[in-house]
Copies of this chain bind each other. A is one copy, B any other.
């Protein structure tokens, strides 16, 4: 288990492989983002997307799935996230794309108010199979401190 105390500014990780299926793009869009360009190629052709594109919120969710799977392989004392800054959808994500992630730790500071945790700011970038960044954001994660043993 990695704790706050094990995390260094500049730490990087590269992980994930998420094939984006048409069925899943449509399923997410119907439930959460039923705008025409997320529901049909015909409607998307009339927009800057050009063809059926995943909801940006779906890209975020797929990114989270890759992050959680990565932490299953490399456990970290995660206590959730306080928030997200500077989220940008840089390119459309299309059915048939395969996504992957890279992270870099930007800042790590002990919590003043909650001595049992620290706050780690990391940049997340999600890429498509052509190594184009499609999504980037800064996550403010709460990470537990290493328990003190007598």
Complex contact B32–A65 (CB within 8 A): yes
Q: Which of A35, A55, A64, A78 has the most CB of B within 10 A?
A: A64
* Number of identical protomers: 2
Complex contact A81–B89 (CB within 8 A): yes
Main secondary structure of the interface of A (DSSP, over half): mixed
If A60-B57, A82-B88, A86-B85 touch, whether A65 touches B33 (CB-CB below 8 Å) is yes
In A14-30, which residues have CB < 8 Å from any B CB?
A: 28
7 contacts between A and B (CB under 8 A): A33-B61, A33-B65, A48-B79, A49-B80, A57-B61, A83-B87, A85-B86
Chain A contact residues, CB within 8 Å of chain B:
28, 31-35, 37, 47-49, 55-58, 60-62, 64-65, 68, 78-89, 137
